Structure 1
Amino acid sequence: MDELRFLTALHRPGSLVDAGAHDGLLALPLSRLPGAHVLAFEPLPAAFARLRAACAGSTTVTPIPQALGDAPGRLTLSVPVVEGIRQEQWASLVKTFEGYGQHVEAERTQVPVVTLDSYCLRDLTAMKVDAEGAEYEVLRGARDTLRRCRPVLTLELEERHRRGSTWAVPAFLDALDYATCFALNGRWWPASALNHATMQRASPDPSNYSASDPYIFNFFAWPREREAEVAQSLPEVRLEG
């Protein structure tokens, strides 16, 4: 199950949020869904420049050069540089990338941070969160919006970026009456079924790309009142219970 398939199958017209939009790989196809308008948040200046160029002329994507978090302000965004090559996909507000030896350096940039709740959205239908370890803060800053709008969510949660994230984020969402699952072998599994030793073994070192097989990092969350809709819209993945 990939993010685009999940969000397309459960699409409802309204606002969609892409937190960590990078250069628009997901924001652009989502913006083509009927009645969709995507708010694409990307705080890394180089990536935002590409995102803005990719969305030029679009009336259904709004690129926003900010990070989402749990309080307004400014934070340090760190980008690892491995043997002179910037690893933008690992840009993080919660990691400094120190301690990995001379082959890993880091570029640091101060970026603006806002809460999603400050946008006072009334029609949020879906949200993708890929914040390299800061997913918990993104959702904390969206608590009122989640309660009000009840969107479906896709989340990239990796212990190598933030230890404890694969239980802390689902626990936060459980308190809002959300189910958080991952798809494997044709069925949905609750986040609590994740076996870290066999399903999410990977190094936090950006120069080391080895990982377990399977490597489960895409999680999907929905309000529990929408479980029947999930089962009907995604019949290829069995929903137990």
Structure 2
Amino acid sequence: MDELRFLTALHRPGRLVDVGAHDGLITLPLSRLPGAQVLAFEPLPAAFARLSAACAGLGAIEPIPQALGDAPGQLTLSVPVVQGVRQEQWASLVKTYDGYGQHVGAEQVQVPVVTLDSFGLQDLTAMKIDAEGAEYEVLRGARDTLLRCRPVLTLELEERHREGSTWAVPAFLDALDYTTCFALDGRWHPATALHRPTMQRASPDPSNYAASDPYVFNFFAWPRERDAEARALLPGG
């Protein structure tokens, strides 16, 4: 099960939010779903420029050059640089990438932050969240919207980016009457079944790509009122 398959299978017409849209890899196919209007949040200026170019002329996508968080303001986005190459996919609001030696540096960019709740959305049907450790803050700033609209969610949660995130985020969603699972071996597993030493062992160093096998970092969440529908997506659901 991947993000796009999950979001497509449970799609309902309305607004979709892509948090950490980057170049639009998920944004563009989501915009082609029936009745979809995508808000694509990408605060990194270089990535936002490419996203805007990719979305030019597509009325179903609104690129937004802001980060989502739990309070409005400005925060520092750290972009690791490994041997002179910017690793934009690791850009984070919660990590500084200090202490990894001379082969790793970082660029610091001040970016505007807003809450999803400030948009007052009434028809949000789905969210994809890839915020390199800031997922908890994104959800805190979307609490009222989640309660009102009941969207389905995909989340990338990694302990190497934010220690405790694979505990805190599912717990927060549980309090909002959401189920959070991961897919492995053709079955849904509750987030509480994640065995971190064997399923999510990886270095926080952006120059070290070694990871456990399996490496489970995609999580899927849905309102409990849609439990039967979501579980039917996998044979062992």
TM-score (norm 2): 0.99
Partner of 1:48: 48
The structural deviation recorded for 1:123 is: 0.2
Distance 1:237 1:27 in 2: 28
1:81 maps to 2:81: yes
Distance 1:56 1:40 in 2: 13
Which aligned pairs between 1:64-213 and structure 2 lie closer than 5 A? Answer: 64-213=64-213
Identity of aligned residues (%): 82
The structural deviation recorded for 1:191 is: 0.5
**Could you tell me which of 212, 217, 238 is aligned with 2:236?**
238
**Residues 125-149 of structure 1, C-alpha deviation per residue, up to 9 Å, x if partnerless?**
0000000000000000000000000
The structural deviation recorded for 1:50 is: 0.2
Q: Is the 8 A contact 2:188 2:231 kept in 1?
A: no
Distance 1:211 1:228 in 2: 33
Partner of 2:13: 13
Partner of 2:226: 226
Provide structure 1 residue ranges, at least 5 long, that are not aligned to the other structure.
none
Q: Is the 8 A contact 1:154 1:220 kept in 2?
A: yes
Task: State the Cα RMSD in Å.
Answer: 0.6
The structural deviation recorded for 1:231 is: 3.0
The structural deviation recorded for 1:238 is: 2.1
The structural deviation recorded for 1:48 is: 0.2
Number of aligned residue pairs: 237
Whichever residue aligns with residue 187 of structure 1, its letter is R
Distance 1:217 1:230 in 2: 19
Partner of 2:216: 216
Distance 1:100 1:91 in 2: 15
Distance 1:237 1:141 in 2: 34
TM-score (norm 1): 0.98
Whichever residue aligns with residue 74 of structure 1, its letter is Q
Distance 1:167 1:139 in 2: 14
Distance 2:120 2:25 in 1: 26
The structural deviation recorded for 1:51 is: 0.1
Whichever residue aligns with residue 180 of structure 1, its letter is T
Partner of 1:59: 59
Secondary structure of the corresponding residue to residue 153 of structure 1: strand
Partner of 1:22: 22
Distance 2:56 2:105 in 1: 33
Distance 1:186 1:170 in 2: 21
Q: Is the 8 A contact 2:79 2:90 kept in 1?
A: yes
**Residues 13-54 of structure 1, C-alpha deviation per residue, up to 9 Å, x if partnerless?**
000000000010000000000000000000000000000000
**Residues 212-234 of structure 1, C-alpha deviation per residue, up to 9 Å, x if partnerless?**
000000000000110111134x1
Distance 2:44 2:56 in 1: 18
Q: Is the 8 A contact 1:43 1:111 kept in 2?
A: yes
Provide structure 2 residue ranges, at least 5 long, that are not aligned to the other structure.
none
Moved runs in structure 1, 4+ residues, more than 6 A?
none
Secondary structure of the corresponding residue to residue 227 of structure 2: helix
The structural deviation recorded for 1:237 is: 3.9
Whichever residue aligns with residue 24 of structure 2, its letter is G
